[in-house]
Structure 1
C-alpha cells in the first residue's frame, strides 16, 4: 500500500478514519523500508502523522459518529472540512501541533540507525517545561492570522501524566489554557486537545 493524497483526502466518519489509520500503521510495520519512510515522514507520512491522526483524535471526542471529516492537503489556511450527517459543511479546522522538530528528527535518526533513541534521565516536569516555548510561539503565530469562520485546534504533543503526578500535569494544562486565552484569535472556535482524549474549548 502506497499512501497517496487521494487516500488521505477521502471524507470519512471518525470510526472509518480510525480504521484507515490502523490499516496504514499495519502497513508501515510490515516492512523495514516502509517503517523507515514512516519514521522519516517521507511521502505523505508527514501529513498523516501531523494532521490526519490528530484530526481523528479530535473528531472522536467532538463530533457525532455519523459526521464526516475530510483532510485537505495544501496551504489553504485550514487542514480539514467537517460535514454533518446531511452532507452539509459544519466547519473547517486548522490543526496546530507544536513540538521540537529538531529533537524529534534526532530521535528518528537514532531509532533507524540502532533501533532505539538515547535514554534521557530527567525530571518528567522538565519535559513539559521545555515544551512551553514551542507551544507559546505557535499560539502567538496563529493568533496573528485570519481564521474567520475556522476552528483552530491546538494539540498537546507531550507525554501523558505519570502515576502520582496527575496534579502537576493538570497545572501544566491550565498554564497551556492560559497561554491560549491570553491571545485574541480571529476564529470561529479555539480548542486545546489533550492526548488522553480531553478537549478544552478556550474561545467561541
Structure 2
C-alpha cells in the first residue's frame, strides 16, 4: 500500500496548464494499470483525497479561459482557508478555495462496491426518486454555499463545483433544480471573497468542462 500512496509524492508543485494536463493523465494511467492504487484512490486514502477534491478542480481551472496566460498553479496541502494558488508571470500569487457538497457515506458505499464487485447500483427505482435525490443534492449544495458565505475569504476566490450528470433528466427539465437557478442563488448571496466561479461536472471531458466554467461574480 505504501507504494501506491507514493504515486502522488509530487502532487503539490507549480505546473503550467500543459504540465497539469500531463500529470493528470499520468496519474490516471497509473491507476488504470495498478488495481490496488485504484481501490485506494476510490476510498480517497492518503493524498488521493486532495487529488480528487483539490487537484482536479485546480487542473480544470487551469484549462479555463479565466486562467492567466503564462501562469502556473499548485495545490496547497495542509490546513488553511485556500486550496490552490495561481502564480502569475509578474510574481503575483492568487489564492483559490474549492468547495462542493459531498455525500461522504454514499461515496464510501460506491467505492466499496466498485472495489468488491466492479459495479455499483444506484438503487433508483423511479423518476420520482431521481427527482427527490436531485432536490436533496441541490439543497445541500446551497447549504454548503451558504456556509461558505459566512466565512471571510477576503482576497481569495471561491470555486464551487457541482456534479450534474447523474441528475441530468431532472436538471435539464425542472427550472427549480437547474444550473441557472443555482447561479441565480449564488449571485443573490453575499460573499467576502474576490471572485466566485462555478464548475459544472456534466459528464464531459475535462477540457470541455473547463471551457464552460462560469464566473458568477
Is the CA contact (8 Å cut-off) linking 1:3 and 1:43 kept in structure 2?
A: no
Deviation larger for 39-48 or 151-160: 151-160
Q: Match of 1:67?
A: 71
Q: Match of 2:204?
A: none
TM-score (norm 2): 0.82
Runs of 4 or more consecutive aligned structure 1 residues displaced over 6 Å after TM superposition: none
How far apart, in 1, do the equivalents of 2:29 and 2:153 lie? Answer: 36
2:140 to 111, 134, 144: 134
1:85 aligns with 2:99: no
Question: Displacement, 1:133?
Answer: 2.0
Is the CA contact (8 Å cut-off) linking 2:16 and 2:72 kept in structure 1?
A: yes
Is the CA contact (8 Å cut-off) linking 2:86 and 2:94 kept in structure 1?
A: yes
Question: Displacement, 1:169?
Answer: 7.6
Is the CA contact (8 Å cut-off) linking 2:157 and 2:194 kept in structure 1?
A: yes
Q: Match of 1:37?
A: 40
Is the CA contact (8 Å cut-off) linking 1:13 and 1:65 kept in structure 2?
A: no
Deviations 1:162-185 (A, max 9, x none): 589746589611111122123211
1:192 aligns with 2:177: no
Closer, same or farther: CA 67–121 of 1 in aligned 2, 3 Å: farther
1:146 aligns with 2:149: no
1:115 to 96, 114, 118: 118
Q: Give ranges in structure 2 of 5+ residues lacking alignment.
A: 202-208
Deviations 1:181-201 (A, max 9, x none): 232111111111123331222
1:157 aligns with 2:163: yes
Deviation larger for 134-143 or 163-172: 163-172
How far apart, in 1, do the equivalents of 2:48 and 2:21 lie? Answer: 16
Q: Match of 1:181?
A: 187
Structure holding more strand per residue: 1
Deviation larger for 94-103 or 126-135: 126-135
Deviations 1:18-41 (A, max 9, x none): 110111111112122111111111
Q: CA RMSD in A?
A: 2.4
